[in-house]
Amino acid sequence: MKLIKIDLLKARYHRASNSAKKWRDTYYRNNKWYIFLDGRSAERIWFGLISLGKNPDPDKIDKLIGNSSWTQPNNYYICKNCEKNVEYGVCIKEEISLCDKCIKKCLCIIKRYKK
């Protein structure tokens, strides 16, 4: 078990892997796609995001969208339990990474059942 501080590259790839779903959730409403002021269709960009696959290169997403807001982690760590952005977390066996709040919840549950 170790304390970790955000790995910016890993965080960018994590955000990139969720970008197509989040893009659709943001720009597809009431069976209609948003059209940007410059005339670009959000649907066309979404198809571009889908074509990049499940583990897309964040730089390709930035280029497709036109900015890096969808891939930049803003110096935060993403908890695998609550999926919130935090600056620090704990990594257990390189698989389970939790923020301090989720760790506290786990400890409360353990203490409750140990009685």
For the chain, domain boundaries: 1-75, 76-115
Q: Closest by alpha carbon to 76, among 2, 3, 11?
A: 11
Q: Measured between alpha carbons, how far is 32 from 16 in angstroms, rounded to an integer?
A: 24
Rounded average pLDDT over 26-45: 95
Residue 2 has pLDDT above 60, yes or no: no
Half-sphere exposure of 13 (CA within 13 A, CB side): 7
Q: Measured between alpha carbons, how far is 19 from 70 in angstroms, rounded to an integer?
A: 6
pLDDT score of 29: 94
Tell me the whole-structure pTM to 2 decimals.
Answer: 0.59
Residue 4 has pLDDT above 60, yes or no: no
Q: Measured between alpha carbons, how far is 100 from 86 in angstroms, rounded to an integer?
A: 9
Q: Closest by alpha carbon to 71, among 82, 61, 83?
A: 61
